[in-house]
Structure 1
Amino acid sequence: MTAGTGEGRDARRWRAVADRQPIADEPFVYAVATTGIYCRPGCPSRTPNRENVVYFATPAAAEAAGYRPCRRCWPQGADPDDSQTVAVARACRRLETDEAEPALADLAADAGLSAAQFRAVFKDRTGLTPKGYARAVRGHRMRAALEEGATVTEATYAAGYSGSARAHADAPGVLGMTASAYRKGGAGEVIDHATADSALGRVLVAATARGLCGIALGDDDGALLATLWARFPKATLRADGPAAQAVLPVVLRVVADPRQNVAALPEVPLDLRGTAFQLRVWEELRRIPPGETRTYTEVAAAIGQPSATRAVANACGANPVAPVVPCHRVVRSDGGLGGYRWGLERKKALLREEEA
């Protein structure tokens, strides 16, 4: 092959990458040296800088060179619409609608996989194990029943629990407190909070003994505290308590440099309280690398529910610990920023900082 021919082929490949249009008569994958990931042409990820791109004839060649497959375009042969993804979506519907929790073996058999294989595939697609997903679903049901005025016993059975022991054990994780305390608006719950100046104005952090449960950004401490009261109207809010003081420096670091959220996530335990769907969305947000963005549509597809774009946007808006869980990295398909609970100027500032 002459140099001219090679240069012409690379130019053709680059055009395919930039236009997201595979070449019908020349299958190949491309890798990005700065990320260590390889993709197939057509990948919805942000277009890389041309000087960082190298090409391989096969996925095996890319992996032999040390690159990892992209988890969005599945260049090694899987596809977001493959049978495993469909099976996971089907399992999610069963976990959400079946009166009794399906056994792992039954879900695996339906997918044509062993129990261990299915568990791994399910967690890869949703960020939760089947057991964890079922637990989150029951928590959502219990929360809804309690908010509608059900007694703890009524809510326990409405959620799908066969008895009170498991519900009692799960409640702190899925509700953030006991069921009786949740029913009373957080009565008995102690939530530490602290405020400070940050790169984006005043910041309030809230934490329980289990971990960081809230971040609020604004200009007025009273308004920030009001958002916490609204979430936990009967909880005991403790100013400058030790749990909040422990996480405040990390949160301030992330607000100043949102790229630090990757390091902060293992450093700071999170006490997230949401529906099963919200937890899946928030887990997916944590996978978006600093400096990159995803559209609401892409996040919906990544969690196996491509038609749930609006619900994804709502889950981003309900994210209680932005920017540690980086919902600012999700934008509209038309290039617009979309919404941000703490104001679009703050979203712009976070994205500018990451791009810098």
Structure 2
Amino acid sequence: MSSNLDIGGLRPGARVVVAMSGGVDSSVVAALVKDAGYETIGVTLQLYDHGVAVGKAGTCCAGSDIHDARRVADRLGIAHYVLDYESAFKDSVIEAFADEYVQGRTPIPCVTCNQTVKFRDLLSVARDLGADAMATGHYVRRVDGAGGPELHRAVDPARDQSYFLFATTGEQLSYLRFPLGGMEKPAVREHARRFGLVVADKPDSQDICFVPSGDYAGIVRKLRPEAGEPGEIVDMGGAVLGQHRGLIHYTVGQRRGLEIGGLADPLYVVRLEPETRRVVVGPRAALGVAAAVLGKINWLGPAIGDGLDVLAKVRSMAKPAPARFDGQRVTFAAPEYGVAPGQACVLYDGERVLGGGWIDGTVSALAAA
């Protein structure tokens, strides 16, 4: 039974490298690509010292994942390579993750990993192997538009990963394929059962892969001890309200864990000041953001001109909000809340990803009023 898979107009029998993490999604991609008649090569990256993650469910790239990827490749009868990228992953992702927290920012290591190790280094490996394309298990669509390939949301909104792939360049997009972007998760698992894959019922990854215990603060503290130093919690006027146990435990918009008693109204983290080790808190109204300034912008859309109306997504779980983009600044039609430096702001035109950047600064809605 053939799947009649269309992955972007490749010639019959083309060589395709599949990034295999050991999970059900990438395993199904390998099976579908092989079933469609393409020469399929699986590549798995060992990214970190995963000894502590062995046997822990709900992680990505955990101790058993390489073994699972190898078993799937054996089942499919395809070549499979495991490459040691632990050093590159530590330098590009883990160290950067720790540095962001030291600077009072809230990082997204999955975006950084896609931007560096996976869509930079792994693509290079795929080209060295003479592949015509590289396929991954991400839930996002590559659509051929009038100006070339475009990045679009996945059909299944609950699985859409376009926010995490905003940094994919046009050159990378021309080489990448995302066979699962038009599927919902139950269909993917049904394919896994049809192909007899051992990972058919494997749980989805949820935790940050290099923090299998969920204690990301502990990881940062180990790498950057200064990020765990205590300091003052102050109100927006500078009055000291209490003490905190390290900036790594806080992010903009956070309400719980402040441990400030005797106040009538709830307070939220408004900003972090790494220079003074202060956590600044205020009422919810102080969280409102009128605009965000972006850095390291990756643009996949049309010419911006004097401004472009967009939908802006400021957190992975946030709903896209109407905004206008001038090439650096995103001005929201209505105040956005919980906008944290270090997070990504991804811009859309309907289903299409126009691009995005990292939030470097914000303009308070109170100040802009």
RCO comparison, higher one (Cα < 8 Å, 6+): 2
Greater helix content: 1
Structures share a fold, TM > 0.5? no
TM-score (normalizing by structure 1): 0.24
TM-score (normalizing by structure 2): 0.24
Greater strand content: 2
